[in-house]
Chains A and B, each alone.
Chain A
């Protein structure tokens, strides 16, 4: 089945630094990937839709200059949290849809836990 890999799974950084999270579709091509944020005991919240070869589409209230998304290839999207602050600490999850499978299943990565000190 479709596999989505996220890296790193955990990252701790100092306030003010930037952190990059990678999302890869391992056995399928994904023209569209999605980035979510999840706080403890809360729902996943869609941050942005990452489109291969074009600009990402951000949800209302998500700062595009803060959360940089790059989707340079059909198998890789990256989320960079710039000038991270403690309030950016969260669980970030990506997902991708394998249109080739015909099953309309959205596959999620395992998530990346960011802690900003």
Chain B
């Protein structure tokens, strides 16, 4: 079982709509949680980084939340644009070996 589970696996929304992506993790100990955007055939690009004590962090139309008690995080995308179509990856930095542990990602398609 993955230590970082993301849902949904894929999502299709219409341009202009909002959406929320989920990330549940079991990694312990926990240093920080990151959300990355990965366009097809490209490397991931950092959206947000949150430490244990942070509950929410925004980056433009992207807002990430973190509940360290329930080990859940979400990424909310507001007023989606066609360019938001990508894979969104939740990454935990931590674990016994203090490394990045990647979720499998949510593939988002924004349609006109």
Contact = CB atoms under 8 A, between A and B. Distances in A.
A28 interface: no
B43 A111 contact: yes
A96 to B, nearest CB: 11
B17 interface: no
B61 interface: no
Interface in A99-114: 103-111, 113
A111 B100 contact: no
B79 interface: no
Interface residues of B, number: 19
Interface string A33-49: 01000000111111000
A46 B102 CA distance: 9
Interface in B55-112: 89, 99-100, 102-105, 107
Nearest to A111: B43
Given A44-B102, A104-B32, A93 B41 contact: no
Interface of A: 4, 6, 34, 41-46, 91, 93, 95, 103-111, 113
Given A41-B104, A42-B104, 13 more contacts: A4-B43, A34-B100, A43-B2, A43-B105, A44-B44, A46-B99, A93-B43, A93-B44, A104-B49, A106-B46, A106-B100, A108-B36, A110-B43
